[in-house]
């Protein structure tokens, strides 16, 4: 292939200045003229030493120094006509006898380099800012709340966490709603070798089934109507090198369970609409409030997936079965909400006893909500008594020896009690649909009751 090096030089971004072994100018490209303002006809055929001595075009040339030292020389030259500095690099080219045949000098515009330097600094600052924001979001993601307990049941859980956290074993966390499964996942992450890596949480019950696959596994460009032209990485790819928590795994559609099994077994996935595999370095933690063994028997959950997830099971007992934790949890929540609402409330032994007598169907979450409710609805320095707790639990006022706990017929009192239970369930679960599931009644039944009680639909 014949190459026209003159044409190549004319298309370079850097200014090119070539002399012979005596320092006589043989060639300058268009970029050199653009950078320095010096025309080729003004210097071609002339020696660099003579040009510099005139003091018209430039000072600080490197050509003479290259000829003297026979080495590459870097320097800053001044273009006199434009009164600006340029970065110049002179490189010797030798003949077979070791003599300098040519000196090639690259000329770079200093302001342009400064601009690039500023752009690089801006990118570095943006990277630093992004890293700090990512660290902050990770902190929010796994939070800083500690697991508070006094019971032997929770002590055993904490001990198991310490044993398995630093491994990459798959963990299945089970327990009723509100028992603190996410806190257990957070603690596994905090104590793991991946604690500085991504921690992605996915609520499998909160994402519509038709979107869950693309959210988990990502998709390629044009995979479906409305897909991004560039495609999109899924939650598994975002969690690569880190940990992914699959919350409410028992609600994952059967169609996706096979794909999840592939990820767990082979540590790879194929995006929706794609045909190539994406390798993953990831640890999986799953959690559910369902009995997955029963779901397997019902045909709602794959048996092979259950065994793959259930390598290390961590079961969280409901609060009613570890009542020793109630006082310390209540005190901890009280400290949090005293600080949040600028109050100085404390709880009496009678208040603690009332908390201990309750069954806590909503578990720790319900206890926390109750403490917050009491704090915000009472004076700043109140002592939380048995009556405060009793009233907050929506069970009426404390019965006295002289009269019944409420007035009205049995039917009226039962209606009030039912209404309180329904309101409590909706508040705890966040929607009528979830409250119906929690209370074990049909959604339509609960809607009718809410309408009867003139409650706002949510």
pLDDT digits (tens, 9 = 90+) for 300-314: 999 999 999 999 999
* Angle at alpha carbon of residue 311, lines to 306 and 313, rounded to 5°: 85
**Cβ atoms 270, 237 nearer than 8 A:** no
Instruction: Output the pLDDT for position 146.
Output: 80
Of the candidates 317, 334, 357, which is a domain's last residue?
317
CATH number at residue 306: 3.40.50.300
**Cα distances (Å, whole numbers) of residue 201 to 254, 359, 430:** 20, 30, 20
pLDDT above 60: residue 402: no
CATH number at residue 329: 1.10.8.60
Residue 241, in any domain of the structure: yes
**Within this chain, do residues 192 and 304 fall inside the same structural domain, yes or no?**
yes
Of the candidates 284, 317, 350, which is a domain's last residue?
317
Residue 401, in any domain of the structure: no
In this prediction, residues 427-438 reach a mean pLDDT of 76
Q: How many CB atoms lie within 10 A of CB 410?
A: 7
Of the candidates 317, 337, 370, which is a domain's last residue?
317
* Angle at alpha carbon of residue 329, lines to 392 and 335, rounded to 5°: 80
**Within this chain, do residues 176 and 95 fall inside the same structural domain, yes or no?**
no
CATH number at residue 73: 3.30.450.20
Greater confidence (344 vs 431) lies with 344
Tell how far CA 22 is from the center of its chain: 63
Residue 102, in any domain of the structure: yes
Residue 379, in any domain of the structure: yes
Residue 258, in any domain of the structure: yes
Residue 439, in any domain of the structure: yes
Residue 118, in any domain of the structure: no
**Within this chain, do residues 93 and 31 fall inside the same structural domain, yes or no?**
yes
pLDDT above 50: residue 401: no
Instruction: Output the pLDDT for position 10.
Output: 86
**Within this chain, do residues 388 and 419 fall inside the same structural domain, yes or no?**
no
| Dist CA 17 CA 24 (whole Å) | 10
| Dist CA 171 CA 76 (whole Å) | 62
Nearest to 86 by CA among 11, 5, 16: 16
| Dist CA 244 CA 200 (whole Å) | 5
Mean predicted lDDT score pLDDT of the chain: 85
**Within this chain, do residues 212 and 240 fall inside the same structural domain, yes or no?**
yes
pLDDT above 60: residue 399: no
**Cβ atoms 397, 387 nearer than 8 A:** yes
pLDDT above 90: residue 84: no
**Within this chain, do residues 159 and 230 fall inside the same structural domain, yes or no?**
yes
pLDDT above 60: residue 396: no
pLDDT above 60: residue 406: no
| Dist CA 321 CA 108 (whole Å) | 76
**Within this chain, do residues 212 and 271 fall inside the same structural domain, yes or no?**
yes
**Within this chain, do residues 274 and 225 fall inside the same structural domain, yes or no?**
yes
Domains of the chain: total: 4
Instruction: Output the pLDDT for position 398.
Output: 35
**Within this chain, do residues 334 and 429 fall inside the same structural domain, yes or no?**
no
In this prediction, residues 277-296 reach a mean pLDDT of 95
CATH number at residue 438: 1.10.10
Q: Express each pLDDT in 38-70 by its tens digit.
A: 999 999 999 999 999 988 998 989 999 999 999
Nearest to 232 by CA among 222, 246, 245: 222
**Within this chain, do residues 197 and 261 fall inside the same structural domain, yes or no?**
yes
How much of the chain exceeds pLDDT 70, in percent?
86
**Cβ atoms 334, 344 nearer than 8 A:** no
Q: Express each pLDDT in 196-238 by its tens digit.
A: 899 999 999 888 888 898 899 988 886 766 667 668 888 999 9
Instruction: Output the pLDDT for position 456.
Output: 39
**Within this chain, do residues 386 and 416 fall inside the same structural domain, yes or no?**
no
**Cβ atoms 241, 206 nearer than 8 A:** no
Residue 126, in any domain of the structure: no
In this prediction, residues 91-113 reach a mean pLDDT of 87
**Within this chain, do residues 294 and 337 fall inside the same structural domain, yes or no?**
no
| Dist CA 255 CA 250 (whole Å) | 13
pLDDT above 50: residue 397: no
Residue-range definition of the domain harbouring residue 445: 409-458
| Dist CA 240 CA 284 (whole Å) | 11
């Amino acid at each position: 292939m014949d190459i026209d090096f003159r044409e190549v030089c004319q298309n370079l971004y850097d200014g090119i200045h070539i002399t012979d072994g005596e320092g006589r100018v043989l060639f300058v490209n268009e970029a050199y003229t653009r950078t320095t303002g010096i025309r080729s006809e003004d210097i071609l055929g002339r020696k660099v030493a003579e040009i510099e001595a005139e003091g018209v075009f430039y000072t600080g040339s490197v050509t003479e120094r290259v000829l003297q030292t026979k080495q590459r020389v870097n320097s800053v030259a001044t273009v006199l006509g434009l009164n600006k500095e340029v970065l110049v690099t002179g490189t010797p080219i030798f003949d077979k006898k070791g003599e300098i045949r040519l000196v090639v000098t690259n000329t770079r515009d200093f302001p342009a380099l400064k601009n690039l330097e500023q752009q690089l600094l801006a990118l570095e600052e943006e990277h630093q800012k992004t890293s700090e924001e990512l660290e902050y979001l990770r902190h929010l993601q796994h939070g800083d709340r500690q697991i508070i307990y006094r019971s032997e049941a929770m002590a055993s859980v904490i001990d198991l966490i310490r044993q398995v956290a630093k491994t990459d074993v798959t963990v299945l966390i089970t327990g009723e709603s509100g028992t603190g499964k996410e806190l257990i996942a957070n603690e596994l992450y905090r104590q793991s070798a991946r604690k500085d890596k991504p921690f992605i949480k996915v609520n499998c019950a909160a994402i519509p089934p038709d979107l869950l696959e693309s959210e988990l596994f990502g998709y390629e460009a044009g995979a479906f109507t409305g897909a991004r032209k560039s495609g999109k990485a899924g939650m598994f790819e975002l969690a690569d090198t880190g940990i992914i928590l699959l919350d409410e795994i028992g609600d994952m559609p059967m169609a996706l369970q096979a794909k999840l099994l592939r990820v767990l077994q082979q540590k790879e996935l194929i995006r929706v609409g794609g045909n190539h595999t994406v390798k993953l370095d990831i640890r999986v933690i799953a959690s559910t409030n369902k009995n997955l063994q029963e779901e397997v028997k019902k045909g709602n959950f794959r048996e092979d997936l259950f065994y793959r997830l259930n390598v290390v099971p961590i079961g969280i007992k409901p609060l009613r079965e570890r009542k020793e934790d109630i006082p310390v949890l209540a005190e901890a929540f009280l400290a949090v909400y005293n600080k949040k609402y600028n109050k100085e409330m404390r709880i009496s032994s009678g208040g603690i006893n009332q908390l201990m007598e309750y069954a806590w169907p909503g578990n720790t979450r319900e206890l926390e909500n109750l403490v917050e409710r009491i704090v915000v609805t009472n004076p700043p320095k109140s002592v939380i008594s048995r009556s405060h707790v009793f009233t907050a639990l929506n069970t009426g006022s404390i019965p006295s020896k002289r009269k019944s706990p409420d007035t009205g017929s049995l039917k009226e009192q039962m209606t009030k009690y039912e209404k309180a239970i329904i309101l409590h369930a909706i508040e705890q679960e966040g929607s009528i649909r979830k409250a119906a599931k929690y209370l074990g009644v049909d959604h339509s039944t609960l809607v009718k009751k809410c309408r009867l009680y003139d409650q706002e639909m949510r």
